[in-house]
């Protein structure tokens, strides 16, 4: 590995020297032709000699640079994701040593990536097992608390309040566990979308109605703006429902009282259908906007408002839209609010 810089410097020196020699000889030849008093025949001979000289120089420089081009091609393949690509170690002189060092580096990188993938798989399996095992007891506890609240009768106010806290906590746990299960499902390769051609507007309208009560409790104005024209496209209704629910849930969590949330379902100038949720909430710092789309990542500002989430809501939205071959756009300004838009491709035919 340590020989790589000196070998490369030696190769560069040879190429540079060849080019300098060519320039010096070219200058000398040009001066000779300019001052020569010989006839046209001698001039033609000198021009022929110059042409031959240039062919030899070109061949030499090409011979030195061609191995580097092959090595560069291999680097490009690995950069594009082909980790099996390797350089030809039978290349000449210093480039051969450089290729060998590069292959050793690529082998080490492949081994480390394999270990990381194995570690990541173990973590995914652990989360999957825990989430599935938690689902049943959480559902049972929630059922009991619901029943106790219905039959509270003559319970003292403090005990009723305690039951309400337990019920609220269990609902949050069930919701978080459900999102974990959704994340695990989306990360699997076997998921298939049941896409049908339909209008996106009615689905958005239904979801907004479901969130109206929560918005009113926080004195938040929840507004729906749907284009009057048909907004027909192809999508999986269940998964798009999850998208709207996650976007609205986040908007309600991080928008303060007397704020505003606007849901839009309209067409782009190109004819694609888009859904959009805009709020006047706390916003996301610019440096954290890419990270919040990754699983289990949350903005620092968000942690000051809500400790109960697991940081998978926007990841779920992003993954579902990508599986629809759509695009997700996030615009946010800290202290002013966030606007998230998903664009679905135009239906074929």
* 328 secondary structure, DSSP code: E
* pLDDT over threshold 80, residue 218: yes
Average pLDDT, rounded, for the chain: 75
pLDDT digits (tens, 9 = 90+) for 222-252: 999 999 898 999 999 989 998 999 899 889 9
For residues 99 and 1, the answer to whether their CB atoms sit within 8 Å is no
- Confidence class of residue 306 from pLDDT cuts 50, 70 and 90? low
- Confidence class of residue 1 from pLDDT cuts 50, 70 and 90? very low
- Confidence class of residue 186 from pLDDT cuts 50, 70 and 90? confident
Note the CATH number of domain 196-344.
3.30.565.10
Q: Please report how many Cα atoms fall inside a 13 Å half-sphere around the Cα of residue 16, on the Cβ side.
A: 6
Higher pLDDT, 267 or 14: 267
* pLDDT over threshold 50, residue 37: no
As a whole number, mean pLDDT of residues 23-49 equals 54
Helix segments in the chain, DSSP class H: 3-35, 40-79, 93-150, 157-187, 200-217, 237-253, 300-303, 313-323
pLDDT on residue 290: 80
- Confidence class of residue 58 from pLDDT cuts 50, 70 and 90? low
pLDDT digits (tens, 9 = 90+) for 44-54: 555 555 556 55
Listed by start position, the domains of the chain span 3-113, 133-187, 196-344
- Confidence class of residue 55 from pLDDT cuts 50, 70 and 90? low
pLDDT digits (tens, 9 = 90+) for 320-345: 899 899 999 999 998 899 999 999 98
Cα-Cα-Cα-Cα dihedral sign, residues 205, 209, 214, 216: positive
């Amino acid at each position: 590995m340590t020989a790589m810089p000196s070998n490369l410097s030696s190769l560069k020196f040879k190429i540079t020297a060849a080019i300098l020699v060519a320039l010096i000889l070219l200058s000398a030849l040009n001066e000779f032709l300019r001052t020569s008093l010989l006839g046209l025949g001698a001039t033609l001979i000198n021009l022929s000699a110059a042409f031959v000289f240039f062919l030899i120089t070109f061949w030499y420089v090409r011979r030195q640079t061609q191995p580097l081009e092959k090595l560069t091609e291999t680097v490009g393949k690995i950069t594009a994701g082909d980790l099996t690509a390797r350089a030809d170690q039978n290349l000449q002189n210093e480039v051969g040593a450089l290729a060998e060092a590069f292959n050793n580096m690529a082998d080490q990188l492949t081994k480390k990536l394999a270990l990381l993938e194995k570690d990541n798989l173990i973590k995914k399996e652990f989360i999957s097992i825990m989430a599935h095992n938690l689902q049943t007891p959480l559902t049972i506890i929630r059922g009991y608390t619901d029943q106790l609240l219905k039959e509270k009768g003559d319970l003292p106010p403090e005990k009723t309040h305690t039951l309400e806290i337990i019920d609220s906590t269990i609902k949050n746990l069930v919701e978080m566990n459900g999102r974990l299960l959704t994340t695990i499902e989306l990360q699997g390769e076997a998921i298939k979308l049941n896409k049908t051609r339909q209008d996106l507007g009615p689905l958005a309208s239904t979801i907004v109605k479901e969130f109206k009560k929560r918005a009113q409790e926080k004195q938040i104005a929840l507004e729906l703006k749907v284009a009057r024209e048909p907004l027909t496209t192809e999508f999986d209704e269940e998964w798009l429902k999850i998208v709207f629910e996650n976007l609205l849930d986040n908007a309600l969590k991080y928008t303060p009282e007397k704020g505003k949330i606007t849901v839009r379902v309209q067409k782009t100038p190109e004819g694609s259908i888009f859904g959009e949720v805009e709020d006047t909430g706390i916003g996301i710092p610019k440096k954290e906007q890419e990270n919040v789309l990754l699983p289990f990542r949350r903005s620092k500002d968000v942690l000051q408002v809500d400790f109960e989430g697991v940081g998978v809501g926007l990841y779920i939205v992003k993954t579902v839209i990508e599986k629809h071959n759509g695009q997700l756009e996030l615009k946010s300004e800290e202290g002013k609010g966030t606007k998230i838009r998903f664009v679905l491709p135009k239906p074929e035919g």
